[in-house]
Structure 1
Amino acid sequence: MGHTCRGTINLATATITVDDACNFVISNGGAQTYHLKASCEVERQRWITALELAKAKAAHLQQESGSQNSEVQSALRTLGSKVEDLSTCNDLISKHGSALQRSLSELDSLRLTGEAGDKIRQVTERATLFRITSNAMINACRDFLALAQAHSKKWQKALQAEREQRVRLEETLETLAKQHNHLERAFRGAAAISVRVGSAGPGPGKGEASDEDDDNEFFDAMEEAPEFITVPEPLTMSQEPSQELVPLKKRRTRIPDKPNYSLNLWSIMKNCIGKELSKIPMPVNFNEPISMLQRLSEDLEYYELLDKAAKCHSSLEQMCYVAAFSVSSYSTTVHRTGKPFNPLLGETYELDRRREYGYRSLCEQVSHHPPAAAHHAISDRGWTLRQEITVASKFRGKYLSIMPLGTIHAIFEKGQSHYTWKKVTTTVHNIIVGKLWIDQSGEIDVVNHTTGDRCHLKFAPYSYFSRDVARKVTGVVMDKDGKAHYVLSGTWDEKMELSRVMQSSRGGENGAEGKQKTVYQTLKAREIWRRNPLPEGAETMYYFTSLALTLNEMEDGVAPTDSRRRPDQRLMEDGRWDEANAEKQRLEEKQRSARREREREAVNAPHDNYNALWFDRCNDPINGEPVHIYKGGYWESKERGSWEGCPDIF
């Protein structure tokens, strides 16, 4: 309101507090205090929400208005000061001009003739013209100042309306997010009184009791029967293929500490609501100093699970290791809130660990919009892993959803077993307020296309209202006839265990969606996978694992398109973020120019006619999806040191 009346409280400076379930208090800290009572708790909360929104808006508009008025008035004062300076100059010009003309008149009175007289008359005329022009300039400046003062109110009003419209959505979102956090904290406080909770809190904790809302229940069987699964022995030196013993490269264990910059993710993200984030240029301030190709290569951190799977004689036992491997790739994400660099089209990344661990891996960015990366890894120990991942990401207001699209394939030489599965959705919470934390949710079907075996895995989304263990994953391994042989249980950030199923039956109690629960009697659980501990000081190094710390270490002989050679990423790793942002803009503009050039060369092409260098576009023989499959040649080119076909992208 533009005016006040008796009893008015200015919302911008008011305090709003909750008294009890239905009562609340509005006060200005002085004489005015209102004690209000709603008919129920829900109605009280509706009032609180409406008042808090109005308060946030009032405070913001007051601040904006004051800022706008201050800016405009400051500009007008500066203009006025400059016009005063001009006016002073004009007075001096008039004064000196008059003196000049008097002197000229005195010269003229000497009745000089000939050329001298003509010159004096010419100078007199020019002095007169100069005085007229300077007077006109001063008058124009005065008119400009008068117009600026007359229109200043109109400018302020238009500017205020524009800003008001722009901030309305972000104010609402920010306030609701804070209220949501408040309610969640209140719920946790209440839950702590009624039940014993192991650990609560975002980056949600562990140890809560189970609600048993799943369709399956697991019980340890009483029989002391021998367990079916055996853990394969690690290779001894005598089992290793004979090779010349060459000292392995000592890899780095540290990178420069992350600079302590004050960042506000919300200031960037509020303009991206509902948009596909891969199309929005983001500063390196929100990145981690590795590319998406390097992040994809991190899926191989627990390659030992595939080594063990390759040795299994039982396809069902093999399925357990493959399913555990599909879960293990998420363990690196639990603290990793930084965004990897979007690879440039044609960028590659090699991870050659053949001498140490028997595998080597190659990634290539095969599409820019939508961004897609093809990955191919092969091991001397009898397995191949390939995938093409397209990442779709949407900002939903309070959280960010990242949906990896594409299929992962694992093929084993023994038995020619061919497995496929897809990735689950990653969610980044607390974009607006609070500490960022990451959750994984969804379901994965790991299928053995050779035998028909399958494992159905469930990643339970975190909920403040569930007493279940956080980051929980459960799964059942079944043969082609649907008979359960093993159950898997654990968490995606810590460990997975397996148990052999001795007997299964339908329970009398209904589970989720009214379906009968299946009760599995199992032998004692055995750990099949556990996350590696983070290196010392990881919290200052983007929470990188020991493997991640080595990914961007420069190596001899890699392709000129390798992510290790990317200059903006290297500058960021060195802590030179301003230079990294400038370099990132240069590289993105270079990429846009290359795309425009390709479009000019193929005017009639229905789409971007880009062809990957190391991968062929085809339809997948297993599921028919369009996909890029490694065609060979990279490692041979590296041995020759011949990279003639590589594009110039950096």
Structure 2
Amino acid sequence: MMMMQVETEGEATCTAVLTPPLSLEGGLAAELRPANLVQRVLSLFRNVRPGSDLSHFQLPATFNLPKSQLQLYGETVYCAGEDLLSRCARGKDGLDRLTSVVAWSISTTRPPIFGFAPYNPVLGETHHVSAGPFNVLLEQVSHRPPVSALHATDNNGNVELVWCQHPVPKFYGTSIEATVKGKRQVKLLKFNETYEVDCPNLLIRLLPAPSVEWSGNVRVVCKDTGLEAELSYCRSRSFLGIGGDPRCVKGRILDSGSGDVVCEINGHWDRTVSLKDVKTGKVSVLYDATRAVANLSTPVVENRKGVSPSESAVVWGEVNDAILKKDWEKARQAKRRVEDTARKLAKERNERGELWMPKHFALSQDKNGSWECWPLESSVPPAPIVVPS
């Protein structure tokens, strides 16, 4: 855990509390997990109707990870054991670059933890972190529905990320499935290539055996090269339908025009994923999870005066501190203060007839409910919070 007092102009001193990122080991959740977790989770949904949208379901602090959803999104970009994004920009040809983007997209699939969820970000909350050459900025651009925008650029001008995500969790009686809507764009500027990347769904099974896993289909498409990848996050086959490994990923890379399969993809997203060249039969390692997302460093505050009062680690700092100390009454009260303040500000805006506008993004919504975001600046500046090298 990292704590830092942050002095903001005209405001009282507040505390930024940064916690370790999720990695293959799970870390924080194992420390916070109570003995009767499964029974407590089931009791939460006793009075929830099947088919209900859980986007605004309020979890008690005892079920929260000490971090915001904005931070979890950001960690998939700036917390990594190897620089997969720079590798994308170094690809020698279109196929090499596509496979690198696929490897990066798999690296954003971090092990979910049953019974714990991050905080729902408040409107206008931001998260700004630098790691090596990459500067990453996120903003909560809508609260109802919850929409998060991300912009990341590197100091060399080679890679730019822009995405706008909108999770829609629904309760189905014995399970919860969160569909993540919105496209993630990886732009390789030197090659004038844009890759559109989907996100898998998060499936939480309550009965008969509690579990949480990533599922569904993901596409990585580059119209500029005419290549695309199709991935399926699935459970491996098991004897008589019992057991099976939920962390399998299978897929293929194909030519969009002809439909010809160029490569086959097979493996486990929390271990290794292999790539087989269909023409030559050569098999290589596409992705190694141990190198990518194990033993990750916790971000630290490098410039305390530069930390915004809207920064996630500040907004939720008191709640984080209480959860880490397992002071659940203090955590409950601190969380309520954050949420009550957000509701009060929204009410005051409505009474004045003011329309809230994001600070860092422009956004729009089409008639089908899909959201798009555009960063207002061409690049992201270095952040006051950094990931130690």
Q: TM-score, normalised by structure 2?
A: 0.79
For the pair 1:370 / 2:175, whether they are aligned, the reply is no
The equivalent position to 1:343 in structure 2, one of 103, 110, 121, is: 121
- Aligned residue in 1 for 2:45: 269
Structure 2 CA distance, aligned partners of 1:280 and 1:255?
23
The equivalent position to 1:612 in structure 2, one of 358, 367, 378, is: 358
The Cα RMSD (Å) is 3.1
Q: CA deviation at 1:564?
A: 1.0
Closer, same or farther: CA 307–585 of 1 in aligned 2, 3 Å: same
Letter in 1 for 2:284: R
Structure 2 CA distance, aligned partners of 1:478 and 1:615?
34
Closer, same or farther: CA 636–327 of 1 in aligned 2, 3 Å: closer
Contact 1:400 1:428 in 2 (8 A): yes
Contact 1:403 1:426 in 2 (8 A): yes
Structure 1 CA distance, aligned partners of 2:378 and 2:185?
21
SS in 1 for 2:162: strand
Structure 2 CA distance, aligned partners of 1:383 and 1:633?
12
- Aligned residue in 2 for 1:281: 58
Structure 1 CA distance, aligned partners of 2:329 and 2:207?
24
Structure 2 CA distance, aligned partners of 1:552 and 1:394?
35
The equivalent position to 2:251 in structure 1, one of 475, 478, 484, is: 475
Structure 2: state its 5+ residue gaps. 1-18, 22-26, 385-389
- Aligned residue in 1 for 2:24: none
SS in 2 for 1:282: coil
Closer, same or farther: CA 433–576 of 1 in aligned 2, 3 Å: farther
| CA offset digits 1:560-583 (Å, max 9, x no partner) | 111111222332233222201111
For the pair 1:398 / 2:174, whether they are aligned, the reply is yes
Structure 1 CA distance, aligned partners of 2:216 and 2:263?
20
- Aligned residue in 2 for 1:50: none
Contact 1:385 1:408 in 2 (8 A): yes
- Aligned residue in 2 for 1:627: 372
**When you count helix as a share of all residues, which structure comes out higher?**
1
For the pair 1:485 / 2:262, whether they are aligned, the reply is yes
Contact 2:153 2:379 in 1 (8 A): no
Closer, same or farther: CA 403–304 of 1 in aligned 2, 3 Å: same
Contact 2:137 2:380 in 1 (8 A): no
SS in 1 for 2:124: coil
| CA offset digits 1:68-87 (Å, max 9, x no partner) | xxxxxxxxxxxxxxxxxxxx
- Aligned residue in 1 for 2:86: 307
SS in 2 for 1:333: coil
| CA offset digits 1:257-285 (Å, max 9, x no partner) | 42746441111122223322232221011
Q: CA deviation at 1:255?
A: 6.8
SS in 2 for 1:322: helix
Structure 2 CA distance, aligned partners of 1:616 and 1:360?
19
Structure 2 CA distance, aligned partners of 1:533 and 1:411?
24
Map 1:219-368 onto structure 2 (within 5 A): 257-258=31-32, 260=34, 262-263=36-37, 264-274=40-50, 275-300=52-77, 301-302=79-80, 304-330=83-109, 332-335=110-113, 337-353=115-131, 357-368=132-143
Structure 1: state its 5+ residue gaps. 1-250, 503-521, 535-543, 603-607, 640-650
Closer, same or farther: CA 554–341 of 1 in aligned 2, 3 Å: farther
| CA offset digits 1:12-38 (Å, max 9, x no partner) | xxxxxxxxxxxxxxxxxxxxxxxxxxx
Closer, same or farther: CA 304–392 of 1 in aligned 2, 3 Å: same
- Aligned residue in 2 for 1:563: 312
| Higher Cα radius of gyration | 1
Closer, same or farther: CA 284–494 of 1 in aligned 2, 3 Å: same
Letter in 1 for 2:187: I
Letter in 1 for 2:283: A
Identical columns (%): 24
Higher relative contact order structure (alpha carbons within 8 Å, sequence separation ≥ 6): 2
Structure 2 CA distance, aligned partners of 1:634 and 1:587?
30
Letter in 1 for 2:374: I
Letter in 2 for 1:321: S
For the pair 1:437 / 2:218, whether they are aligned, the reply is no
Q: TM-score, normalised by structure 1?
A: 0.49
| CA offset digits 1:119-144 (Å, max 9, x no partner) | xxxxxxxxxxxxxxxxxxxxxxxxxx
SS in 1 for 2:359: coil
| CA offset digits 1:475-531 (Å, max 9, x no partner) | 2212233222222211222221112121xxxxxxxxxxxxxxxxxxx5231112111
- Aligned residue in 1 for 2:337: 586
Q: CA deviation at 1:559?
A: 1.1
Q: CA deviation at 1:550?
A: 1.4
For the pair 1:387 / 2:387, whether they are aligned, the reply is no
Contact 2:135 2:383 in 1 (8 A): no
Closer, same or farther: CA 262–337 of 1 in aligned 2, 3 Å: closer
